[in-house]
Amino acid sequence: MANGTPTTRVPWAQQLLEWVDARFPLSALWKSQVSEYYAPKNFNFWYFFGSLALFVLVLQIVTGIFLTMNYKPDAALAFASVEYIMREVSWGWLIRYLHSTGASAFFICIYLHMFRALLYGSYRKPRELTWLFGVVIFLSLMAEAFFGYLLPWGQMSYWGAQVIVNLFGAIPVVGEQLAIWIRGDYVIGDATLNRFFAFHVIAVPLVLLGLVVAHLMALHETGSNNPDGVEIKKTIDPKTGHPADGIPFHPYYTVKDLFGVMVFLLLFSVIVFYAPALGGYFLEDNNFFPADPLKTPPHIAPVWYFTPYYSVLRATTDELKWVIGIAVLAFMAWALFRRGSNRTRFALLGIGVLLLAGLYELEAKVWGVLLMGSSVVIFAFLPWLDRSPVKSIRYRGWMYKLALTLFVFAFLVLGYLGMQVPTPVLTRVAQVGTLVYFAFFLLMPWYSAIDRTAPEPQRVTR
């Protein structure tokens, strides 16, 4: 330097960061959301599945982009274009298997992620909105999977879509017109394929990404729950000013989740490279027959992740309507004698009368559709159905533990039955499963309140 005063040289990377930070809160976002986002230090195995679901979402988007480059959303070309990807496109078979296996992996991660919430009461106050965004993500994911499954244009793609869209036809008065409007045709056809493609590659993914951002923002506002269900923000370390039981998400959970992703990828790769169809569960055998509108397959079964709800649909027969009717009468009797204002009493009785009228008026098929929809949407009400003084299963009593065990068992049994050809006995089992499934939710205000719980600790334990 000319005047001889030494100057400290600022590294160019730091200069660039300062330049960006003056214009965009990059460092501030990184700090608030990652490096100084304090997460409970006692996350266990079940806490891997949120980050894994995010990983699979990215995997699906990236592989999906490359599939879109060669896929043809045309009823005459779609089936062959998928096989073109499998045979002629460089690494096409790998990209396609990653995507098809990723679809199932996504549901495995989401189901386990939701099970974690049931274990530790993650949906409870103050995380109700995180949970609600999650339920809408789950619904969107189901829509995404449903639209995507039509695209290979095989027999199961075609007839699966036919069955599901026909469900809308069960809605009284407007049903038929609604089904035609959804299909754009009287049967599933080229128009349907085109619009499902549009929904699958752009509309639903956009919604999903937006919802995932909202889900994470809501989570980071309240802070994460943990296996003890205690709020770590209540105990602030006076020296650091941070939660005493919290550790920064980065680097602690970034390195832990990295390990989780690697283990996941190993299991995932075993399927992709050695059993991509997984015995017909991830890629159904019948879907290697091209779609034929004139040939109905003898047995139409959805992919495994939809089968619990499909079972609920099939289990709803005229007999089950009687059982629902008795349940509604029991509900009305309870409403009549419960304490509280007369206004609520009349409102509840009114709902009961409406349900009874619906049972009388609407055929079992319509109720099947209603129950199938309810079996998914009912998750949204969990924050208000659960009256337990504690969040985590560690401090709950035997009633919730039993209820959750029965619920998971019913879910698995319904899932299995949804893949089988229905017989009178299996339908009866599915009906019992359906009742157990709904009882878990509808009786929760009662059993979660009277359950004998242990006191929650002040601090996280392990």
Residues in the site for another protein, rule: CB under 8 A? 41, 80, 83-84, 86-87, 93-94, 97, 247, 251-252, 255-256, 258-259, 261-263, 265-266, 269-270, 272-274, 276-277, 285-286, 288-290, 298
Q: Of 46 and 288, which CB lies nearer to another protein in the complex structure? A: 288
> Among residues 231, 265, 228, 240, which one has the least CA distance to residue 98?
265
Residue whose tokens read 């009461």: 121
Strand, coil or helix: what is 90? coil
CB of 298 to another protein, least distance (A): 7
CB of 227 to another protein, least distance (A): 15
CB of 232 to another protein, least distance (A): 14
CB of 277 to another protein, least distance (A): 7
CB 301 within 8 A of CB 307: yes
Q: Of 292 and 319, which CB lies nearer to another protein in the complex structure? A: 292
CB of 88 to another protein, least distance (A): 8
Backbone angles phi, psi at 100, to 5 degrees: -70, -40
Q: Of 285 and 319, which CB lies nearer to another protein in the complex structure? A: 285
Q: Of 48 and 438, which CB lies nearer to another protein in the complex structure? A: 48
Distance CA 110, CA 56 (A): 10
Residues in the chain: 462
Q: Of 206 and 270, which CB lies nearer to another protein in the complex structure? A: 270
CA geometry: angle 129, 130, 134, nearest 5 deg: 110
CB of 245 to another protein, least distance (A): 10
Q: Of 257 and 451, which CB lies nearer to another protein in the complex structure? A: 257
CB of 59 to another protein, least distance (A): 14
Burial of 197 (0-12, 13-18, 19+ CB in 10 A): buried
CB of 250 to another protein, least distance (A): 10
CB 73 within 8 A of CB 267: no
Q: Of 22 and 294, which CB lies nearer to another protein in the complex structure? A: 294
Distance CA 388, CA 397 (A): 10
Which spans in 47-186 are helix H?
49-68, 78-87, 92-120, 128-150, 155-168, 175-183
Distance CA 20, CA 51 (A): 28
Strand, coil or helix: what is 375? helix
List residues bridging with 247 in a β-sheet: 39
Q: Of 241 and 298, which CB lies nearer to another protein in the complex structure? A: 298
